[in-house]
Amino acid sequence: MEVFIYGLARGSTLALMAVGFSFAYGVSRLPNFAHGAFYILAGFATWVFAQSLGLNYVLSIAISLVLLAAIGAAMYRFILIRVRGMEVSEIIASYALGVAILEALRCKFVGTGFSTPVFIEGTIKVAGVPIDLQRVVIIAGGVVVIGLIWAFTHYTRLGLSLRGIAQDERAALMLGIDSDRAATIALAIGSALAALAAVIILPVGSITVNEGYDVLISALAVCIIGGLGSWTGTILAAFILGFAGTLTATYIGTMWESVVVVAAIILVLLLKPSGLFGRQKEFEERV
């Protein structure tokens, strides 16, 4: 039971971390390797607004979300748009930006002890297992975010056009959907999702720069296992990896977790490269 609840919490955490990357990649086919950096940047931004500037907590969260969305859009508008189509440069550019942000933060925020307050204090007991309320918030947040994305891509005009681009860019272009605008929006939303994940998850631990790399690894692992660009796959893979991680941590030892992640990626790439739930793309992605 304990494993189940912690697995659920960890699964939601991973899903929140990965969903932004997956969303942006799904629409624009641009891998945002600055994802982990955006996540941590949002954490520090919230901390600065709330602790240093003394703003209201909710307000600081809102500002961080908007800020990160703007950064995501700016990244596309000023950097990625110039290298669009050149695969090598696309990859290098976003990764370089991510590393630059992370290492700059490492210099700026020396030491530990940066953390944002939890939303709700206290713990509750679910089926005899104590769990702190912030983890419940994470699970709830995961569900809400996933629901919102689903509603957004199925019921709003903008969401539908993004989905159109994701499925067939050329056809969507012919129907008059501006692919640059769509990619800007997708990266803005993806970055905002990274920020949202950060503000929900970070109160549980403390904000450190290395966490940024960990988040990037987790997000990438989840996306590969679930199938790059597949949104349902991402969510399911997050929970699979979450449970796998919790099981390893409980029964074998915490240190084996990263081994499990790497092993899972290799296994998936070997057996089903399009991801566990990826759509039929053998011809496109497999050489």
Partner 1 sequence: MGTEARRKERLDRGVKVRTEKLYAVSGWQEITYLVLPRLALILGLLILPLVMPSMYWQKVLCSMGVFALLAIAFDFLAHYVGLVCLGGALFTGVGAYISGLLSSSTGLSPALTIPIATLGGGLICTLLLLPCLPLRGVYFAIVTIIYPLAIVRILTALNIWGGTEGISALATFPNIWVEVYLILGMVLIVLFALRRLVNEDYGLVLRGIKDNDQAVRASGINVTFYKAQAVFITAAIGCFCGAYLSCLYGWCGLSLFALDFSILPIAATVMGGLGTLVGPLLGACILTPLSEVLRAIGTWRIVIYCVVLLSFIVFKPEGLMNWIQRKYHQFEHWEKI
Partner 2 sequence: MSISEEVVLQARNVSKTFGGVKAVNEVSFDLHGGEIMGIIGPNGSGKTTLINLVTGFVKPDSGKVFFKGKELTGLPPHRIADLGVTRTFQVMRPYASLPAYKNLIVPLCSPRVKRSSGGKLGDRDIVCIDLLEEVGFERDAYVPYKIASSLPLGYLKRLELARCLALRPEVVICDEVFSGLSMAEIATMIPVIERLQMEGMTIIMIEHRLRELFRLADKVMVLNFGEKIAEGVAEEVMENEAVREAYMGKEEK
CA distances to 65, 82, 94, 176, 213 from 99, rounded to whole Å, are 20, 20, 9, 36, 9
- φ, ψ (nearest 5 deg) of residue 125: -105, 120
Please report, in angstroms and rounded to a whole number, the separation of the first and last CA atoms in the chain: 44
For Cα atoms 175, 178, 183, give the angle at the middle one, nearest 5 degrees.
130
Q: How far from chain centre, in Å, is Cα 23? A: 9
Q: In the set 54, 110, 270, 282, which binds partner 2 (CB under 8 A)?
A: 282
164 contacts which partner out of partner 1, partner 2, none, CB within 5 to 8 A by kind?
none
**Residues near 285 by Cβ (< 8 Å), separated by ≥ 6?**
273, 274
CB of 236 to partner 2, least distance (A): 18
Q: Is 155 in the site for partner 2 (CB under 8 A)?
A: no
Q: Which stretch binds partner 2 (CB under 8 A): 1-9, 133-141, 263-271, 276-284?
A: 276-284
Q: In the set 228, 235, 244, 249, which binds partner 1 (CB under 8 A)?
A: 228
Query: What residue type is 108 in one-letter code?
Result: K
Q: In the set 82, 108, 154, 279, which binds partner 2 (CB under 8 A)?
A: 279
Q: Which stretch binds partner 1 (CB under 8 A): 61-69, 84-92, 159-167, 194-202?
A: 84-92
Q: In the set 107, 111, 121, 174, which binds partner 1 (CB under 8 A)?
A: 107
Q: Is 104 in the site for partner 1 (CB under 8 A)?
A: yes
Q: Which stretch binds partner 1 (CB under 8 A): 47-55, 130-138, 232-240, 261-269?
A: 261-269
Q: Is 121 in the site for partner 2 (CB under 8 A)?
A: no
The whole-angstrom separation of Cα 23 and Cα 197 is 13
Q: Is 180 in the site for partner 1 (CB under 8 A)?
A: no
* Torsion angle defined by CA atoms of residues 228, 286, 258 and 229, in that order, rounded to the nearest 10 degrees: 0
280 contacts which partner out of partner 2, partner 1, none, CB within 5 to 8 A by kind?
partner 2
**Residues near 79 by Cβ (< 8 Å), separated by ≥ 6?**
93, 94, 97
Per-residue contact flags (x/-) with partner 1 for residues 238 to 257, judged by CB under 8 A: ----------------xxx-
Q: Is 95 in the site for partner 1 (CB under 8 A)?
A: yes
The whole-angstrom separation of Cα 129 and Cα 205 is 20
In the complex, the residues that contact partner 2 under the rule CB under 8 A are 279-280, 282-283
